[in-house]
Structure 1
Amino acid sequence: MVQYNFKKITVVPTGKEFIDIILSRTQRRTPTQVHKGYAISRLRQFYMRKVKFTQQNFHEKLSTIIDDFPRLNDIHPFYGDLLHVLYNKDHYKLALGQINTARNLIGKIAKDYVRLLKYGDSLYRCKSLKVAALGRMCTVIKRVTPSLAYLEQIRQHMARLPSIDPNSRTLLICGYPNVGKSSFVNKITRAEVDVQPYAFTTKSLFVGHTDYKYLRYQVIDTPGILDRPFEDRNIIEMCSITALAHLRAAVLFFLDISGSCGYSIAQQAALFDSIKSLFMNKPLIIVCNKTDLQALEGLSEDDMKLVMEMKSEAMKTLVGQGGEATDGSNVLLTMSTLTEEGVIAVKNAACERLLDQRVEQKMKSKKLNDCLNRFHVAMPKPRDQKERPACIPQAVLEAKAKQAEVDAEKENRKLERDLENENGGAGVYSASLKKRYILAHDEWKEDIIPEILDGHNVANFLDPDILMRLEELEREEGVLQGLEEDDDFEMDGAELTPEEQAALTEIRKKKSLLIQQHRIRKSTAESRPTIPRKFDKDKKFTSERMGRQLSSLGLDPSMAIDRARSKSRGRKRERSTDGVESMDVDGDKQNKKMRLKSRSMSRSRSMSRPPGEVVPGEGFKDSAQKKKAIKIAKSSSKNRNKEARRGEADRVIPTLKPKHLFSGKRSTGKTDRR
């Protein structure tokens, strides 16, 4: 089958883009460095190469455009007429002719200037000739800029055309606008044609595909046609006329018997009479649509007469094609795309009519006689009077009976949907995934599947009485908590003296005040900066103030102050002077040395680790091995540091644009690296 795929046509650049593409390619693909000291033959060759290369690129690009666009005389007449209707083949051929002329002119220009360059006597003369040659080539392209723009528009429009095979089995749907053609296509195919309640919704040809008897059929939805002279029809109507004229297809003429499309049956019958010449040698079916609004039997006598006349015309075309004269039951059909009544019957009848016609044409063709002499059908002759009926083995009969039982069981068994409806519907019924398990015993299906962890069954390590034991533990814990609550000491003041009661009241008052202050500070903690202790001007947090407050309450603050000092993180350390005081007064020098030593020991915060000490995790066996490794590392980096070379510790800034990838020019010389 011939497939016309116009989506593969190369994009046509505009005139300016065309020139930029070719000149930049010439600059990139040819050498760019030349000196006046070169021999004159080398200078001539340099510029001749530029001119020839530019001409070749123009020729290749223009040839691609000319070859990609279809030639109207070489393609199927359907596509030839369709392109003529859409774009006017005179303008189309003229544009391609101008592109061809530009290609020939560029070839002549290159030829002339190459001849002149052969006699160039200086670098300046050769360069001027090269500039003139490229300039004239670009001028030729600028003159065909409108043709290039026109061809690009045609290419974009042709890419949107449907892919129709003129030689395939085709159902063609035609009729007045808004009679239900697109709705029918949407019903029998997977096409999504726009359907609206007004005329001329479909403005171009749409293609869908359907199957009948394991064969693929293409269904073409055509725009609506009005009953008017041929020369008055617009482009949209001419698309339908072109398809009717050139495609070998089964034609379905849609008739709106309800009149809701805005056209009467008389107008639709007049359209049928005006285009019936296009139905010759094609299977024709008249489809009365929208029977849900108006039944065929309920039509008036005049309308019914018109419908019967159309039916008789369709019968004539059937007899004229060599078909048998029938009652016309498969010529006039009724349907409703809204209720889908009769839709499949119309599709099957059209496909059957088309199939019969194609088989009949093949039987009449000369190719059949060439094939028949290759076939031989052997007919067995009886050798006696004994009857030999077909023998079916018993195993086959048993298998067939068993299969019949399985089929009957499948028909009678309840589906999950039925069980769901019986047991409360969706959200209530939960399907069991275990009922289809194939096990030795059916009662095993609902057993709990063991959970295996580290090769052991988890169920073996579970205590069946664990919940009961948990309850007992909770009860014991509750009893213990009750005892602790009873043991909590709450000072009620009954056994205290009046002075102790006053102190207790003061403490509780102070405690509540501190809690309130803490809550206030906590509420504004996020927005309040942290103030170091050394900037505490009010001295709220000193141990002396704490001692005074505790003393005012009648408490001994010594133990609290000692504890606060032992927990403080002061930097000063206590000096041990016990040994100094116990020494004799005469040993002043020794006392002085001890004091200096103790002072230096107190000032030292941390000892730096010696380089040979092994830290766990470094991977060294002992300090000797670590020292050896450090020595080897220093010696290896000595030469590199001396020569100021880059090492692994230096910062690396990678080259974002490597020259070999982004350089656009090639120097003169060999190209062996490619």
Structure 2
Amino acid sequence: MKPEDFRESIIHEPSEFLAILERRLKTAGSSGRVSARARLLEKLSTCYQLVDSEFSKAEAFLRRIVELGGFHAELFKLEAGVEPGEVLKRVKALRRAAGNIYASSRSELKSARGERDAREAFRAGVGRLVSIYKRNRKTLSAIRKTALEFSRMPDVEGDLRVIIAGMPQAGKSTLISRLTNAKPEIGFYPFTTKNIIAGHLDVEPYGRIVLIDTPGILDRPMSERNPVEHRAVLAVKHLADALLFLIDPSPGKYYSLDEQLNVYRTVQNMLQGKPLKIVLNKADATPPGELEEACERVRREAGVEPLVISALTGLNLDALKNWLTGLLKTGTRGF
């Protein structure tokens, strides 16, 4: 599903919605020569339609998240703090309750003996409809927040999805900007990348590689990771067909090789056997002796031959593209 497909499901901010409702109630039933009772019925209908429209959009959004599962369902839970299926049940119940309130209020208004009784039935009906909305503002705000989040995510559809992972400041954003059309924010402090960023690399005639830049992951237990790190973990678990793990061996590195290799092992376990390439970045800033020590350390502890590159100068980026193209040719897919 493309990110723009979520835009039609974005509901209003509760305060914005209540302001819209107030304006619509002022103008509803004001045209034409109709009875006071007919005007009240139109206003009541307007109120219900607006409330039902919000619940309907929320229900449609949650249905999509439940159907998609995986990455989308876990990201919803991360943002909202509750399973999307549970929220869907609640919204469906709220929608039914609003429908019942409207039906009973409309019946009371139509059967009212006089204008005074009709107005009382109208006020009670609108009050109950607005109340059911207000009491669930927190839930509706969480739904809006996550729908906005999904609508702003990059398009990750392609023939091969490759996650670029590593600790903060390993050079992930610089690498994706050199290999693709992506323009991530590149900074000199940890967690510059706070969201998932995607860039596309078209390899004719084989197809499209999607490179996904993720926030940095720190060497600490899952329970201690912040929401930014959890986004990266979810991307590795659910979006990766293959993965590039960047290590910074330079003297100016933010994190030790011990810490970086610990995170590598964590990521490796998440991949469940999918293709993985360890990439030693920043060769331009690392003395040859220290670079070789880092390579030997990777060989010894990870049991693989790392690829040495410099995302900044372009060193060995062609070799990296060749590895990615090889995966695309062989039809590597994670699903």
Structure 1: any 5+ residue segments left out of the alignment? 36-42, 315-330, 363-674
- Counterpart of 2:108? 116
Match for residue 205 of structure 1 among 178, 196, 201: 196
Distance 1:57 1:32 in 2: 24
Asked if 1 retains the 8 angstrom alpha-carbon contact of 2:29 and 2:39, the reply is no
Equivalent position SS for 1:174:
strand
Once the two structures are TM-superposed, the CA of residue 310 in structure 1 deviates from its matched residue by 4.8
Q: Quote the RMSD (CA, aligned, Å).
A: 3.1
Once the two structures are TM-superposed, the CA of residue 294 in structure 1 deviates from its matched residue by 2.7
- Counterpart of 2:232? 240
Once the two structures are TM-superposed, the CA of residue 186 in structure 1 deviates from its matched residue by 0.9
Asked if 1 retains the 8 angstrom alpha-carbon contact of 2:280 and 2:306, the reply is yes
User: Could you list the per-position Cα deviations for residues 593-622 of structure 1 after superposition, in whole angstroms to 9, with x for gaps in the alignment?
Assistant: xxxxxxxxxxxxxxxxxxxxxxxxxxxxxx
Distance 2:26 2:39 in 1: 17
In the alignment, does 2:313 pair up with 1:339?
A: yes
Equivalent position SS for 1:72:
helix
- Counterpart of 2:184? 193
Distance 2:311 2:143 in 1: 41
- Counterpart of 1:307? 298
User: Could you list the per-position Cα deviations for residues 454-480 of structure 1 after superposition, in whole angstroms to 9, with x for gaps in the alignment?
Assistant: xxxxxxxxxxxxxxxxxxxxxxxxxxx
Going from structure 1 to structure 2, the CA distance change for 1:196 and 1:101 (only over 3 Å counts) comes to same
Asked if 2 retains the 8 angstrom alpha-carbon contact of 1:290 and 1:338, the reply is yes
Match for residue 325 of structure 2 among 343, 348, 351: 351
Distance 1:279 1:56 in 2: 47
The one-letter amino acid paired with 1:65 is A
Distance 1:46 1:8 in 2: 31
Asked if 1 retains the 8 angstrom alpha-carbon contact of 2:3 and 2:150, the reply is no
Distance 1:135 1:267 in 2: 58
Distance 1:287 1:352 in 2: 16
User: Could you list the per-position Cα deviations for residues 485-525 of structure 1 after superposition, in whole angstroms to 9, with x for gaps in the alignment?
Assistant: xxxxxxxxxxxxxxxxxxxxxxxxxxxxxxxxxxxxxxxxx
Distance 1:350 1:172 in 2: 11
Distance 2:102 2:32 in 1: 19
Once the two structures are TM-superposed, the CA of residue 96 in structure 1 deviates from its matched residue by 5.5
- Counterpart of 1:3? 2
1:236-635 → structure 2 map (5 Å cutoff): 236-294=228-286, 299=291, 303-310=294-301, 312=303, 314=304, 332-358=306-332
- Counterpart of 2:35? 34
- Counterpart of 1:432? none
- Counterpart of 2:22? 20
- Counterpart of 1:74? 67
Q: Which has the higher contact order (CA 8 A, sep 6+)?
A: 2
The one-letter amino acid paired with 2:327 is R
Asked if 2 retains the 8 angstrom alpha-carbon contact of 1:4 and 1:164, the reply is no
Structure 2: any 5+ residue segments left out of the alignment? none
Asked if 1 retains the 8 angstrom alpha-carbon contact of 2:9 and 2:57, the reply is no
Bigger-Rg structure (1/2): 1
Once the two structures are TM-superposed, the CA of residue 49 in structure 1 deviates from its matched residue by 5.6
Distance 2:61 2:297 in 1: 49
Of Structure 1 and Structure 2, the greater helix share is in 2
- Counterpart of 2:152? 160
Match for residue 182 of structure 1 among 173, 180, 186: 173
User: Could you list the per-position Cα deviations for residues 112-170 of structure 1 after superposition, in whole angstroms to 9, with x for gaps in the alignment?
Assistant: 233334543334333432333233323333333343344333344333322323x6411
Going from structure 1 to structure 2, the CA distance change for 1:135 and 1:32 (only over 3 Å counts) comes to farther
Going from structure 1 to structure 2, the CA distance change for 1:14 and 1:211 (only over 3 Å counts) comes to same
Structure 1 residues 72-81 or 16-25, which shifts more? 16-25
Normalised by the length of structure 1, the TM-score is 0.44
1:93-112 → structure 2 map (5 Å cutoff): 99-112=91-104
Asked if 2 retains the 8 angstrom alpha-carbon contact of 1:169 and 1:216, the reply is yes
Of Structure 1 and Structure 2, the greater strand share is in 2
Asked if 2 retains the 8 angstrom alpha-carbon contact of 1:250 and 1:354, the reply is no
The one-letter amino acid paired with 1:17 is A
Going from structure 1 to structure 2, the CA distance change for 1:199 and 1:232 (only over 3 Å counts) comes to same
- Counterpart of 1:136? 128
What is the aligned-residue identity percentage? 25
Distance 2:46 2:21 in 1: 14
Equivalent position SS for 2:307:
strand
Going from structure 1 to structure 2, the CA distance change for 1:310 and 1:22 (only over 3 Å counts) comes to farther
Asked if 2 retains the 8 angstrom alpha-carbon contact of 1:106 and 1:140, the reply is yes
Asked if 2 retains the 8 angstrom alpha-carbon contact of 1:177 and 1:261, the reply is no
Once the two structures are TM-superposed, the CA of residue 97 in structure 1 deviates from its matched residue by 5.3
